[in-house]
């Protein structure tokens, strides 16, 4: 079966992991800061904090920004549940901003309208989490302008978007945000098997996230309440968690980063080939905003809702591992139990009824891409 996504592991990756396994450090060693430095350099950002998953990264980003009970965090309804759960972990409430019908990202116009309403009732968000769906950046200049007007902080959920660009700069540079978060799950652009990372230009936020990822413990005398008892001494200065990433994972990430440009270039070639093959199919294909260059973590097509299931099942029968990204978060039972109504987000509901993620990954051959496109066209001819 051709999967919708998969990792690309080279001999260099394997050698890097083996070298770490035979070194003195399996965790809390030199590979983690080296990996952080490489990602920070790629993004053109001052600080990077690596953790064991993007979910953990979203959580510590919220904690570092002081999210807690009485606060509200807004995000997109079309995302993985982690983009919303991170606020609940902090005891805060969650709300959603509907998506743009063309880009499928958070709609800046709908965000502006919702902010004005929230201002009128005194319930503005503390943090907004725009999600760069499929690898395309949201309109961050517009969202950043609204943040200055209404006083909220921004966490970019860039889990899909390492290697992407916005306004000529790498996603993760945090030009219009406080923190950006990446994922390194195996189906993402690069992988550490499981892992995530936060970028920021704010030294205080970086230090706070470093404390939160490792129990809130410090060995830095300047952060202690009194002089150290000796070289063995540490203090817990905050209620942190164990979200550390291992050196084994970081070593894999370091090796993978050397091929990031290659991976993204290949994904862009595949997206362009799909565009050429499917442009006259009657499907709604991805639309890119002028200032964005997607990393193409996902390639989503949209088909009439009455055809979606049969097309999906037909592609699976043809050994094409299609999927759907995502089920709207407000429709999940947990969020319904919290009082959320998915009917408030009609663009998200329509997207969900029509969306299919088709395969895109760096090791796909042109033969694979052409087969996927041909099967889509064949099935559409049968279904219409």
- Positive or negative torsion for Cα 186, 261, 258, 49: negative
Q: Are strands 165-166 and 169-170 parallel, antiparallel or unpaired?
A: antiparallel
User: What is the reported pLDDT for 67?
Assistant: 98
Q: What is the mean pLDDT of residues 299-324?
A: 98
Where residue 382 falls among pLDDT bands split at 50, 70, 90?
very high
Separation in Å, CA 300 to CA 87, 146, 351, 373: 27, 28, 10, 13
In the chain, the domains with their CATH numbers are 2-257 (3.40.640.10), 260-383 (3.90.1150.10)
Beta-carbon contacts of 352 under 8 Å, excluding residues fewer than 6 positions away, are 78, 324, 326, 327, 328, 331
The two tokens of residue 242 are 């164990």
| 8-23 pLDDT per residue, tens | 999 999 999 999 999 9
- Burial environment of residue 34 by CB neighbours within 10 A (0 to 12, 13 to 18, 19 or more): middle
Per residue in 196-248, pLDDT (tens digit) is 999 999 999 999 999 999 999 999 999 999 999 999 999 999 999 999 999 99
- Whole-number pLDDT of residue 177: 98
Asked if the bond preceding 326 is cis, omega within 30° of 0, the reply is yes
Q: Is the dihedral of CA 163, 165, 170, 171 positive or negative?
A: negative
Structure confidence at residue 176 (pLDDT): 98
pLDDT of residue 22: 98
Whether the per-residue pLDDT at 183 is higher than 90: the answer is yes
Residue 171 has pLDDT above 90, yes or no: yes
User: For the chain, how far is it from start to end, CA to CA, in angstroms?
Assistant: 25
Dump pLDDT digits (tens) for 50-63.
999 999 999 999 99
**How far are the Cα atoms of 96, 112, 252 from residue 143, in angstroms, in the given order?**
14, 8, 34
Average pLDDT, the chain: 98
- For residue 309, CA distances in Å to 179, 286, 299 come to 38, 20, 17
Burial readout 266-283 (b: 16 or more C-beta within 10 A, e: otherwise): bbbebbebbeebbeeeeb
**Tens digit of pLDDT for each residue in 344-367?**
999 999 999 999 999 999 999 999
* In contact, 320 and 186? CB cutoff 8 Å: no
The angle subtended at Cα 348 by Cα 191 and Cα 91, nearest 5°, is 70
Q: Identify the band that residue 384 occupies on the pLDDT scale cut at 50, 70 and 90.
A: confident
For residues 254-260, average pLDDT = 98
Given a cut of 90, is residue 128 above it in pLDDT?
yes
Asked whether the predicted pLDDT for residue 310 surpasses 90, the reply is: yes
* DSSP secondary structure string for all residues of 52-68: S-HHHHHHHHHHHTT--
pLDDT exceeds 90 at position 139: yes
Q: Does 103 score more than 90 pLDDT?
A: yes
pTM over 0.85: yes
Q: What is the spatial distance between Cα 56 and Cα 54, in angstroms, rounded to a whole number?
A: 5
């Amino acid at each position: 079966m051709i999967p919708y996504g998969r990792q690309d592991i080279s001999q260099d990756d394997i050698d890097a992991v083996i070298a770490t396994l035979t070194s003195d450090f399996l965790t809390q060693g030199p590979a983690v800061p080296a990996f952080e430095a490489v990602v920070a350099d790629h993004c053109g950002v001052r600080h990077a904090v690596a953790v064991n998953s993007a979910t953990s990264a979203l959580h510590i980003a919220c904690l570092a920004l002081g999210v807690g009970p009485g606060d509200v965090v807004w995000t997109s309804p079309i995302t993985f549940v982690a983009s919303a759960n991170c606020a609940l972990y902090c005891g805060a409430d969650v709300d959603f901003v509907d998506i743009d019908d063309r880009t499928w990202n958070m709609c800046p116009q709908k965000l502006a309208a919702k902010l004005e309403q929230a201002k009128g009732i005194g319930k503005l968000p503390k943090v907004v989490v725009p999600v760069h769906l499929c690898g395309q950046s949201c309109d961050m200049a517009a969202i950043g302008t609204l943040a200055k007007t209404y006083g909220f902080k921004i966490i970019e959920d860039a889990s899909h978007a390492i290697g992407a660009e916005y306004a000529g700069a790498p996603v993760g540079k945090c030009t219009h945000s406080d923190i950006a978060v990446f994922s390194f799950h195996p189906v993402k652009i690069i992988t550490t098997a499981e892992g995530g990372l936060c970028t920021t230009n704010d030294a205080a936020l970086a230090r706070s996230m470093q404390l939160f990822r490792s129990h809130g413990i410090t060995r830095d005398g300047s952060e202690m309440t009194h002089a150290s008892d000796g070289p063995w001494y540490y203090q817990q200065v905050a209620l942190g968690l164990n979200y550390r990433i291992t050196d084994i994972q970081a070593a894999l990430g370091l090796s993978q980063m050397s091929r990031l440009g290659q991976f993204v270039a290949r994904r862009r070639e595949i997206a362009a080939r799909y565009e050429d093959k499917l442009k006259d199919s009657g499907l709604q294909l991805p639309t890119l905003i002028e200032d964005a260059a997607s990393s193409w973590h996902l390639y989503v097509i949209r088909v009439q809702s009455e055809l979606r299931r049969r097309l999906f099942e037909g592609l699976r029968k043809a050994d094409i591992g299609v999927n759907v990204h995502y089920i709207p978060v407000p429709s999940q039972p947990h969020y319904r139990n919290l009082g959320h109504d998915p009917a408030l987000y009609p663009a998200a509901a329509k997207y969900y009824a029509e969306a299919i993620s088709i395969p895109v990954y760096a090791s796909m051959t042109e033969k694979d891409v052409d087969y996927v496109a041909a099967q889509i066209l064949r099935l559409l001819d049968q279904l219409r």
